[in-house]
Structure 1
Amino acid sequence: MAPEPPAFVRLAAHPLRWSLLSALAGGDLRVRELVERVGEPQNLVSYHLRLLRGGGLVTATRSSFDGRDSYYHLDLGRCAGALAETGAALHPALRPETPPLPEGVAVLFVCTGNSARSPVAEALLRRRTAGKVTVTSAGSHPKAALHPGAVRVLSDEFGIDVAGQRPRHLDTVAGHRFDHVITLCDKVRETCPEFPHHPRRRHWSIPDPAGAREPGSFARTAAEIDTRVRHLLPDLPAPQDSVPQDQEARP
């Protein structure tokens, strides 16, 4: 009797579910945006999203900008584990390889206050790439200082000191070239300006830990951002795919 395909294969092999997973691989999206991406009716898209959520591949969070909306997020960590198990089930030699660190790439993280989520993402990506990626963060309405919770979690959990860093306004980086622009809050996604050289845009719908009442919110947020940063690395463009550096000064 032939063995059954792994659960990931059975779930992801459906053409529409694969299209949804592919769309969410680029960032968090709302149902209506997924409907536009895959060109299928909303009731059908919602049905298959429920199956993906039931399989643990996709999660949903309520939008902090419009509480009537939800953002769907692809759990890349779960997918990576499922893919590794799938490869090993077929042949032990099918193991994922660690991709080389990208170089010569510029990334901008954006949130509203530039006091918690975006500076945490900036610090973690800079560390994960050993400084080989130019990383900046900014806010549409920057606070006067970084949130103490963000400073503390980076120091305690990752050994990164950002105590001397100050939030910056989006206007200060408006003329710079970026290969990737990543928004981390739902509000700023609606107002983030366009940038020269058409960077790749993506959205990470992450609630503001400063507004959470339960303890450990900054630690959980930093852990989620670190997971997303790790899975961002293979998706960063190689230098030869980017706009030449002499076309615009980097920040």
Structure 2
Amino acid sequence: MTIEVNEFRERVAKYAALADPARLRIVDLLTLGDFSPKELQAELGMPSNLLSHHLRALEVAGLATRHRSEADKRRSYVGLAAGALQGLVPGAGHGARRVLFVCTRNSARSQLAAALWRQVSEIPSISAGTHPADRIAAGAIEVARRHGVELAEVPPRRLDQVAEEGDFMVTVCDNAHEELVGLGNAHWSVPDPLRLSTENAFEDAFMDISHRVSDLAPRLLAA
């Protein structure tokens, strides 16, 4: 009974937070990916102090989280908390001919994202890097194999070699996102598993991307 009461209170807190139009708009944006406060300001045309107030309310309600950028430590990203929108996910609202996942080296996160996307959506997917590596990381190959996910049999490719008009571009790397300012449609601030190169690091990245892919897929329509 206590669990049910707590769950009910959590739902009430979420609905109360979402009753504000500005906070609802912020959450709609976060269903696409992670945003820095500055990016949210630009999207919403809102002063920083008011945005800070709304972000605190969303964090208290268990709807949003924030963490530091791996690229520029002075920068932070706001994202949806895990399971934040169970029963509240917005409907489809974006059209795409293809989903293009981008990270710096196209050796792990973007490759995994494209492979996971192919399992849940009929919209084609592809991946690329801003500064591609020579080969796909062994850790990415191993974690994909453990989960029965088939990676594309192609080496890392440069973004300008594969990008096409009509792509819905998702950056899955803070470095790539901050290098491609204003060019992507969504950003997922996924920690780089190659920094640690451990099985757990690749497992965490895989699960993070898997959840995000599952959340985004219902929101995109084939264009």
Q: Shorter-normalised TM-score: what interval?
A: 0.7 to 0.9
Which of these residues, 83, 91, 98, is aligned with residue 77 of structure 1? 83
Report the counterpart of residue 216 of structure 1 in structure 2.
200
Aligned counterpart, 2:119: 127
1:144 lines up with 2:134 in the alignment: yes
Contact 2:139 2:199 in 1 (8 A): no
Deviation, 1:128, is: 1.6
Match of 2:150, as an amino acid?
D
Unaligned runs of 5+ in 2: 1-7
User: What is the CA–CA distance in structure 2 between the aligned matches of 1:227 and 1:192, rounded to whole Å?
Assistant: 24
CA distance in 2, matches of 1:67, 1:31: 14
SS of the residue 2:35 aligns to: coil
Q: Which amino acid aligns with 2:156?
A: P
Query: Structure 2: how far apart are the matches of 1:13 and 1:68?
Result: 31
Out of 189, 206, 228, the residue aligned to residue 190 of structure 2 is 206
Contact 1:105–1:134 at 8 Å: present in 2 too? yes
CA distance in structure 2 between the aligned counterparts of 1:155 and 1:44, rounded to whole angstroms: 46
Aligned to 1:19: 25
Cα contact 1:106–1:133 (8 A) shared by 2? yes
Q: Secondary structure at the match of 2:135?
A: coil
Q: How far, CA to CA, are the matches of 1:156 and 1:37 in structure 2? A: 39
Deviations 1:13-59 (A, max 9, x none): 12222222123233211112212222332122112212211222111
* 2:99 aligned with 1:107: yes
Take 1:163 and 1:106, find their aligned partners in 2: how far apart are those partners?
15
Relative distance call for 1:26 and 1:104 in structure 2 (3 A) is closer
Which is worse superposed, 23-32 or 201-210? 23-32
Partner residue of 2:160 out of 171, 192, 214: 171
Quote the residue 1:230 is aligned against: 214
Q: Which amino acid aligns with 1:138?
A: A
TM-score (norm 2): 0.84
Counterpart Cα distance in 2 of 1:166 and 1:80: 37
Determine which structure has more spread, i.e. the larger CA radius of gyration.
1
Using the TM superposition, give the Cα deviation of residue 65 of structure 1 relative to its aligned residue in structure 2, in angstroms: 1.7
Unaligned runs of 5+ in 1: 85-95, 243-251
2:112 alignment partner, SS class: helix
> Is 1:116 equivalent to 2:104 in the alignment?
no
Question: Structure 1: how far apart are the matches of 2:54 and 2:96?
Answer: 39
Q: 1:247 aligns to what? A: none
**Structure 2 vs 1, CA of residues 235 and 153 (structure 1 numbering), >3 Å: closer, same or farther?**
same
User: Among residues 63, 69, 75, which one is paired with 2:69 in the alignment?
Assistant: 63
Separation (CA, whole Å) in 1 of partners of 2:31 and 2:152 = 33
Secondary structure at 1:177 match in 2: coil
Aligned to 1:133, what secondary structure does the other structure show? coil
Do the aligned partners of residues 202 and 146 (structure 1) sit closer, same or farther apart at CA in structure 2, a change above 3 Å counting? same
**Alpha-carbon distance change, 214 to 42 in structure 1, aligned in 2, over 3 angstroms:** farther
What percent of counterpart residues are identical?
38
Let me know the Cα RMSD of the aligned residues: 2.9
User: What is the CA distance between 1:160 and its match in structure 2?
Assistant: 1.9
- Give the letter aligned to residue 126 of structure 1: R
> Is 114-123 or 22-31 further displaced after alignment?
22-31
Measured after TM superposition, the shift of residue 118 of structure 1 is 0.0
The Cα shift of 1:60 comes to 0.9
